[in-house]
Amino acid sequence: MRTTPAALAAVAAGALLAASLGVGTSAAADTDGDPVSTSGLGLRSALDAVGLSSPSESDRTAEGADGAGTTDGAGTSGSSGTTGASGTTGSSGTTRASGTSGAAAQAAPVSTDVLPTVQIDGVVWAQQVVGDVVYVGGSFAAARPAGAAPGTREVARTNLLAYHLHTGELVQGWAPRVNGEVKDLAVSPDGKRLYAVGRFTSVNGTTRYRAAAFSTSTGALTGFRPSVNAAVNAVAVAGRNVYLGGAFTSVNKQKRVRIAAVDNSSGATTRPFKANVADRSVQDLVVSPDRRQVVIGGNFTAVNGSKRPGYGLARLDASTGAMLPMPVNQVVRNAGQYSAILSLAADDEYFYGTGYHWNKKGSTEGSFAASWETGRLVWLEDCHGDTYSVVPFQGSVFMASHKHDCSTSGGFPDTDPRTFHHGTATTRTVEGENIADDDQSYPDSPGTPRPEILNWYPDFTPGSYTGQSQGPWDVTAAGDYLLYGGEFTKVNNRPQQGLVRFTVRDAAANADGPRLGGASFQLSLESTRAGTVEATWPSNHDRDDKTLTYSLHRGTTSDAPIDVQERTGSFWQGETMSYTDTEAEPGTTQRYIVVARDPWGNAAWSQWADVTVNGG
């Protein structure tokens, strides 16, 4: 489940958030008496009644290349150049390396190439994959093929759809009709049943109170029919149990406070599992690989009478609902009116979480990993900017967010005006320690272990469906594919609404190249000594490659370059690069061009620049 953490001042938007959060009962005040790290900028207005309070930040992500002159493939010219050499060392220079190295140079295992995917006209909250089929839940009324403009070639799909993982094309015969938004999805262990939860009360004209199950092959409604009295935000399956989390207080007319287990076939309430979540709501939950533990996250302030653990996070016995030790909750403390754990994910060794906070009421806006065995923190990615979803994939960890400052975790700094990054990735392993933040209005966790932030930055254009100016809300993965869903309208400046696929390097075209070209990749020349030319240019950057090769040519690109340099660095680590040509003929006019290439041959060209060589 992916819940919007933002509330708008407008009444209509406030109602939307209340629905999104699934709050149907009154929300208690934050009564945690323990010190909580201060938060800061982030989200500004409040919607107190729903228990999470914060409006959206305006996302202003620059889309597309930052200048003309970029090319893909084998080095064909851009607007300012001709076919160039492949980056061999020139007669007057040797290959040189600069920039960062080691863990910082690790490459993300996924390309940022955008793969065509079916589109929707609203927002996606959840995705699940069975075999070659991706099941999608959210709030939408229609689907259309990749490349189709809004309002064209649409077919009806009401809050649920399915598409083919390998092609991105809609599954034509799978079309349940759900009368309210779907907040989360889960799949039975045999892959034959899809569970959906949310704010609906009817499916295909048949009563289903906020939870339902479907045949994954046909979309037919099954006999699973628990009756839940308020919104369900999260669902997970473990053996015979289906776990539900949300804002409800009863299931099948039995008291179950925000967390429940029901039979996977009938939906009957399962005994003896029972836990008491004190207030507000459960936003997500995840089951351990051995099916003995359930971790829940949300904005609740206590579970089973405990706040340590139990403040926004709790680890429960999957059979009884009893509390289990969870030391990570000593570090990650998001709960109450202005803070929450928004999503959870898992692999065989760790569970992962993400959060948001505002108004000095939480500790974490980034993501974290904790041990299934001990409940202890493994690492904390301490970026600022709400993080909505997380998934481990191919030995890395991918997030959906609107991060704007990762400087405390070895990443990009904040900017003015602020720049948001909606899709990011880290290593799965610990690669360093977090440092203190100069901005005292934000919490930080200096000394805690952190992963390495990878050079993986697809551009998402925020949408307007929720009124919160966000891009992706959900990320999942299956096979060779990384899947994002949300309300974005473009990806890498290409129209692609609500859903998008990326794939691993070995399966991708790897056609997304260096970003700066033409006038944005300006070559400057100066000749102050006889027979010499000093050339300078800005370093370039790439969405999915951190190491680029720079070739400087004099006169023509048909000959070998006069200088080749290799540099490793991300977009915020720019520097001025240079080379002194000592073999230019005095008194002549010479022209130069510099070409930046990624490891796949994609090239970005500067414009040609001329200089009169000092004659002495």
Compute the distance between CA of residue 331 and CA of residue 328 in angstroms, rounded to an integer: 5
Residue 55: predicted pLDDT: 29
Among 61, 39, 52, 49, CA closest to 4:
52
User: What's the rounded mean pLDDT across residues 464-473?
Assistant: 97
Compute the distance between CA of residue 394 and CA of residue 483 in angstroms, rounded to an integer: 13
**With 70 as the cut, is the pLDDT of residue 425 above it?**
yes
Locus of tokens 């409940």: 375
CA distances from 205 to 140, 208, 581 (A): 18, 9, 76
Residue 546 included in any domain: yes
Structural domain of 87: 70-108+513-612
Residue 443: alpha-carbon gap to chain centroid: 21
Contact 595, 81 (CB under 8 A): yes
What the block records as the tokens of 343 is 């999503």
Phi-psi region of 350 (alpha: psi -120 to 50; beta: other; left: phi over 0): beta
Count of residues for the chain? 616
* Residue 493 CB coordination number (10 Å): 14
DSSP-derived secondary structure letter, 157: -
Residue 4: predicted pLDDT: 52
Give the tens place of pLDDT for each residue, 358-389: 876 789 999 999 999 999 999 999 999 999 99
Contact 189, 161 (CB under 8 A): no
Residue 56: predicted pLDDT: 35
Give the tens place of pLDDT for each residue, 111-147: 999 999 999 999 999 999 999 999 999 999 999 999 9
Between vectors from CA 317 to CA 190 and to CA 361, what angle results, nearest 5°?
A: 110
Residue 576 included in any domain: yes
What the block records as the tokens of 372 is 């299934």
Mean pLDDT of the chain: 86
Domain containing residue 80: CATH number = 2.60.40.10
Q: What percent of the chain has pLDDT over 90?
A: 79
Q: Is the dihedral of CA 368, 512, 74, 550 positive or negative?
A: negative
CA distances from 459 to 408, 436, 440, 495, 525 (A): 22, 28, 29, 12, 33
What the block records as the tokens of 315 is 């680890």
Residue 288 included in any domain: no
Q: What is the largest CA-CA distance in the chain?
A: 95
User: Phi and psi at residue 395, in whole multiples of 5°?
Assistant: 80, 5
Count of domains in the chain?
1
Reduced DSSP (H G I as helix, E B as strand, rest coil) percent helix, strand, coil of the chain, to 5: 5, 40, 55
* Residue 207 CB coordination number (10 Å): 10
Cis bond upstream, residue 116 (ω within 30): no
Going across the sheet that includes 499-503, the strands are 472-478, 481-486, 499-503
**What 3-state class would DSSP assign to 16?**
helix
Among 595, 597, 601, 27, CA closest to 609:
595
Give the tens place of pLDDT for each residue, 153-204: 999 999 999 999 999 999 999 999 999 999 999 999 999 999 999 999 999 9
Q: Kindly give, in sequence order, each residue whose CB lies less than 8 Å from that of residue 160, ignoring residues fewer than 6 positions away.
A: 135, 136, 137, 175, 176, 178, 182, 196, 214
Residue 298 included in any domain: no
**With 90 as the cut, is the pLDDT of residue 45 above it?**
no
Locus of tokens 């990384």: 482
pLDDT band at 443 (very low <50, low <70, confident <90, very high): confident
Compute the distance between CA of residue 159 and CA of residue 353 in angstroms, rounded to an integer: 25
Q: Is the dihedral of CA 115, 120, 124, 126 positive or negative?
A: negative
Give the tens place of pLDDT for each residue, 226-260: 999 999 999 999 999 999 999 999 999 999 999 99
What the block records as the tokens of 320 is 């009884």
Residue 393: alpha-carbon gap to chain centroid: 12
Cis bond upstream, residue 599 (ω within 30): no
* Residue 79 CB coordination number (10 Å): 14
DSSP-derived secondary structure letter, 408: G
Cis bond upstream, residue 417 (ω within 30): yes
Residue 559 included in any domain: yes
Locus of tokens 């967390």: 259
Residue 1: predicted pLDDT: 52
Residue 95 included in any domain: yes
Residue 169 included in any domain: no
User: What's the rounded mean pLDDT across residues 471-494?
Assistant: 99
Q: Which amino acid is at 76?
A: T
**What 3-state class would DSSP assign to 17?**
helix
Between vectors from CA 458 to CA 87 and to CA 389, what angle results, nearest 5°?
A: 145
Compute the distance between CA of residue 30 and CA of residue 145 in angstroms, rounded to an integer: 46
**With 70 as the cut, is the pLDDT of residue 99 above it?**
no
Q: Kindly give, in sequence order, each residue whose CB lies less than 8 Å from that of residue 368, ignoring residues fewer than 6 positions away.
A: 328, 331, 332, 352, 353, 354, 377, 378, 379, 380, 381
What the block records as the tokens of 556 is 């023509």
Among 265, 337, 261, 262, CA closest to 299:
337
Residue 262 included in any domain: no
**With 60 as the cut, is the pLDDT of residue 321 above it?**
yes
What is the enclosing helix (H) or strand (E) of 161? strand 160-164
DSSP-derived secondary structure letter, 613: P
Between vectors from CA 214 to CA 208 and to CA 216, what angle results, nearest 5°?
A: 165
Contact 159, 137 (CB under 8 A): yes
DSSP-derived secondary structure letter, 507: G
